[in-house]
Amino acid sequence: MSSPKKGKSKREEEQSPPQSCTFLSLPYDLLLTCVARISRLYYPSLSLVSKTFRSLLDSPELYKERSRLGQTESCLYVCVSHTNANRWYTLRKLLNPR
């Protein structure tokens, strides 16, 4: 005999976010504007969210939107060659240099 299933408590329902609401359900232009306001420092982590986010981060539209919003950031790309492997690094300016 199986025991009756208990429903979620009111507190659990209030704390759990709605499952149907995701960033990807937003219109593309709105998503583009939101992501354009995020520092490029976080792009490597964001690229792991989904293939859609990875494509968005690589899109020329994102760079255009960042430029339009004045959100461009200077960085230096460095390739370090060691034996048979090359490693690329992105160096960014410190936010609060002392």
Condensed to tens digits (0 to 9), the pLDDT of residues 21-60 reads: 577 788 889 999 999 999 888 888 888 988 888 999 999 9
Where in the sequence is the domain holding 44, given as residue range(s)?
Answer: 24-92
What is the domain count for the chain?
1
Structural domain contains residue 8 = no
Structural domain contains residue 18 = no
Collapsing DSSP to helix, strand or coil, 74 comes out as coil
Structural domain contains residue 39 = yes
- Tell me the whole-structure pTM to 2 decimals: 0.57
CA angle 45, 78, 38 (to 5 degrees): 30
Structural domain contains residue 12 = no
Residue 76 pairs with which residues in a beta bridge? Answer: 91
What average pLDDT score do residues 58-84 get? 88
Burial class (CB in 10 A: 0-12, 13-18, 19+), 27: exposed
Structural domain contains residue 11 = no
Structural domain contains residue 73 = yes
